[in-house]
């Protein structure tokens, strides 16, 4: 089965360079009409020009595709809403949103200015929120939507000097989990990409050989799958150098402690059993954990939960 996007309209943020450019070109090559959003700023978010987005649009049009450029600042919700309104006026719908735009302001937490922390969270997290909010009602009305958030191994696993970036990228998981639940009855599927790519953000950190293996084009096929008609939802897809993997958040079975053991010392004494991963499993909603805990406690106390309803 070929994955195509004929008749679909896609918005890609951070589309002027790197991953965003690759995603925009990949969507257009398979038939999507593309809005390339990029304010053209420096890596730290300073400055701005629509030139980068316009270059990508020229590439798409030269290849026979349809595209338009936008230089909006995604931290400005009114500007983002205007961009979406212009898209709807031109093409009548929005089917796909790839939240890719981001900046870096790396420093150790001890040396980081609070404004640099706030700015990175504002771009990565609130920028994604703004774009998603601006298309959400349209996707609900259409009963169709595909949204990708961009996380990072820094958010999933941590990276020295990136407390601001890591916090923002970890937030994508919580946002995805909730919007997956709220959007599923309208066939809005929400996923997260955790890429490792050769981009402006990584070019100073790796060897030329590694950068060649990590070309953005090796990651885009995963994004195209995540925004396709056959996409999953609530998936964290990791990608880099042609390798694809899935991150799954699991919880151990846990241990019930009675009143006598329910002390800090009791938790310490049972911590090996609490941490035992033998029966760990993925929980897909918050109340699944609540139900598990209540069921374990009721069993230990001999409480019939059904009889108490």
The residues carrying an active-site annotation are: 165
What pairing do the DSSP bridges indicate for beta strands 67-70 and 96-98? unpaired
Distance CA 202, CA 25 (A): 21
Distance CA 57, CA 51 (A): 10
User: 56-80 b/e with 16+ CB inside 10 Å = b?
Assistant: bbebbeeeebebbbbbbbbbebebb
Angle in degrees, CA 66, 123, 48, rounded to 5: 60
Is residue 161 within 8 Å of residue 106, measured between CB atoms?
A: yes
The radius of gyration of the chain from alpha carbons, rounded to an integer in Å, stands at 22
Give the Cβ contact number of residue 207 at 10 Å.
Answer: 8
Which residues touch 234 (CB under 8 Å, ≥6 apart)? 176, 177, 180, 190, 191, 284
Which residues touch 73 (CB under 8 Å, ≥6 apart)? 39, 48, 79
Tokens of 86: 């212009």
Q: How far is CA 11 from CA 5, 24, 216, in A?
A: 13, 8, 18
Distance CA 61, CA 277 (A): 52
Phi, psi of 238 (to 5 degrees): -95, 140
């Amino acid at each position: 089965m070929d994955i195509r996007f004929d008749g679909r309209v896609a918005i890609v943020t951070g589309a002027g360079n790197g991953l965003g450019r690759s995603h925009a070109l990949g969507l257009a090559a398979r038939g999507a009409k593309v809005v390339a959003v990029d304010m053209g700023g420096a890596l730290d978010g300073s400055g701005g020009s629509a030139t980068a987005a316009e270059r990508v649009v020229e590439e798409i049009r030269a290849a026979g595709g349809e595209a338009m450029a936008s230089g909006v600042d995604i931290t400005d919700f009114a500007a983002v809403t205007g961009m979406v309104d212009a898209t709807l006026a031109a093409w009548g719908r929005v089917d796909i949103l790839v939240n890719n735009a981001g900046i870096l302001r790396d420093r150790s937490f001890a040396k980081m200015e609070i404004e640099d922390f706030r700015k990175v969270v504002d771009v990565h997290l609130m920028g994604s929120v703004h774009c998603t909010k601006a298309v959400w009602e349209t996707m609900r009305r259409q009963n169709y939507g595909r949204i990708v958030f961009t996380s990072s191994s820094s958010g999933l696993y941590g990276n020295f000097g990136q407390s601001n970036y890591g916090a923002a990228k970890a937030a994508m998981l919580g946002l995805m989990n909730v919007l997956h639940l709220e959007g599923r009855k309208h066939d809005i599927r929400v996923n997260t990409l955790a890429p490792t790519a050769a981009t402006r953000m990584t070019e100073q950190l790796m060897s030329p050989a590694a950068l060649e293996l990590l070309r953005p084009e090796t990651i885009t096929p995963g994004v195209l799958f995540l925004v396709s008609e056959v996409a999953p939802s609530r998936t964290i897809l990791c990608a880099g150098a042609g390798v694809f993997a899935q991150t799954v958040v699991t919880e151990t079975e846990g241990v019930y402690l009675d009143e006598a053991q329910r002390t800090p010392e009791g938790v310490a004494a049972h911590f090996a059993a609490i941490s035992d991963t033998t029966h760990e499993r993925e929980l897909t909603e918050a109340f699944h954990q609540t139900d598990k805990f209540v069921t374990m406690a009721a069993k230990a106390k001999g409480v019939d939960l059904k009889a108490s309803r």
